[in-house]
Amino acid sequence: MGNRPAELAELLESVAKQEGPPVEVVVVGNGAPLPDLPEVPGGLRTVELPENLGIPGGRNAGVEAFGADGREVDAVLFLDDDGLLPGTDTARLCREAFTADQELGIISFRIADPETGETQRRHVPRLRAADPMRSSRVTTFLGGASAVRTKVLAQVGGLPGDFFYAHEETDLAWRALDGGWGIEYRADMVLHHPTTSPSRHAVYHRMVARNRVWLARRNLPLPLIPVYLGVWVLLTLARRPSGQALKAWLGGFKEGWTTSSGPRRAMRWRTVWRMARLGRPPVI
């Protein structure tokens, strides 16, 4: 969004230092003009969107830019502009992982605070999140610190642009799992990112609730929709949000039911069972 020029320059510098073939870079200005950008060995192209399309819309625009000249790209890294790759081996590790496992579709990096080295529990994409140093197969991923095989996007489609913010990665992850792809959380692939709270965004509570309903309506078998949403209503109330936050959440929950959720492609029951075996059935 053009408000972190120093952080963006540092991120691009960390990408330029990656081992192996140079990494091609697309920087998307999401409804904002881009600052002057440094050169990178793999080449840098820019996209300036006339309006803010939100997180999924911006990332989709970046993916489309890679195909603008007809070249094939095997995988795309999604990196938020306030992040940084502290290691020089992340791109190499991604290439090796995708080469070794042809069914691996998405890799989720470990996000660590640059000052403390700690990983927030919410940044470990599984229920058993006490040990962020343990890599494992998972059922979702962290959108701003990830790598996605382009074959996945070609098969199941991109991120849901209408979501704008919140749960867009889970929507793509569920479609990828239903398409037979695997998702892996890799603790050895690290993105430095300052510790923050997601509720810093003014739209957080409304969009979290609205998109949760959309996620269920788009992807879950009909019997699981009330179970999944009922669990999240109880969890939300158990967290005792403020009156203002709860009002925004309830408004978003209602909006999720009264507005279009987009195309419905319910996952197969064998995908539900697969997710359960991975430790997170799609009711939590």
pLDDT band at residue 58, thresholds of 50, 70 and 90? very high
Neighbours of 176 (CB within 10 A): 24
User: Which residue, among 41, 267, 279, 274, has the nearest Cα to 175 in the 3D structure?
Assistant: 267
Last residue of a domain, one of 143, 175, 196: 196
Residue 280, domain member (yes or no)? no
Structure pTM? 0.96
Is 90 a residue whose pLDDT tops 80?
A: yes
Helix (H) or strand (E) holding 190: strand 182-192
- Distance from chain centroid for Cα 66: 18
Res 36: pLDDT? 92
Indicate whether 231 and 144 sit together in one domain.
no
Show the tokens assigned to 176.
């990828």
How many other CB atoms are found less than 10 A from the CB of residue 84? Answer: 21
- Does residue 68 have a pLDDT over 70? no
Q: Which residues contact 30 (CB under 8 A, 6 or more apart)?
A: 1, 49, 52, 53, 54, 57, 58
Residue found by looking up tokens 């669990």 in the block: 231
Say yes or no to pLDDT of 70 above 90: no
% of the chain at pLDDT higher than 90: 92
Residue tagged 């999240």 (tokens): 232
Do 23 and 98 belong to one domain?
yes
Report the C-alpha gap between 279 and 137 in whole angstroms. 9
Question: What pLDDT score does 69 carry?
Answer: 65
Give pLDDT tens digits for 112-156.
999 999 999 999 999 999 999 999 999 999 999 999 999 999 999
Cβ neighbours of residue 114 closer than 8 Å, sequence gap 6 or more: 84, 86, 192, 193, 194
Whole domain around residue 259: which residue ranges? 200-265
Q: Are residues 157 and 225 in the same domain?
A: no
Same domain? For 65 and 164 the reply is yes
- Distance separating alpha carbons of residues 52 and 262, to the nearest angstrom: 20
Residue with tokens 């992982």: 97
Q: How far is residue 195's CA from residue 209's CA, in Å, rounded to a whole number?
A: 23
Residue whose tokens read 């881009």: 34
The mean per-residue pLDDT over the stretch 235-248 comes to: 94
pLDDT of residue 10: 97
Please name every residue paired with 147 in a beta bridge, in sequence order, or none if there are none.
Answer: 77, 107
Please report whether residue 231 resides in a domain. yes
pLDDT tens readout for residues 204-216: 999 999 999 999 9
Q: Interior CA angle at 169 toward 255 and 214, to 5°?
A: 20
**Contact between 136 and 185 (Cβ < 8 Å):** yes
**Does pLDDT of 84 surpass 80?**
yes
CA distance 118 to 98: 27
Question: Looking at residue 96, which CATH number applies to its domain?
Answer: 3.90.550.10
Torsions phi, psi for 62 (to 5 deg): -65, -40
Q: How many domains does the chain have?
A: 2
CA distance 260 to 25: 34
Express each pLDDT in 148-203 by its tens digit: 999 999 999 999 999 999 999 999 999 999 999 999 999 999 999 998 877 655 68
Q: Residues 44, 181: one domain?
A: yes
Smallest Cα–Cα separation from 64: which of 156, 144, 158? 158
Residue 271 is assigned to a structural domain of this protein: no
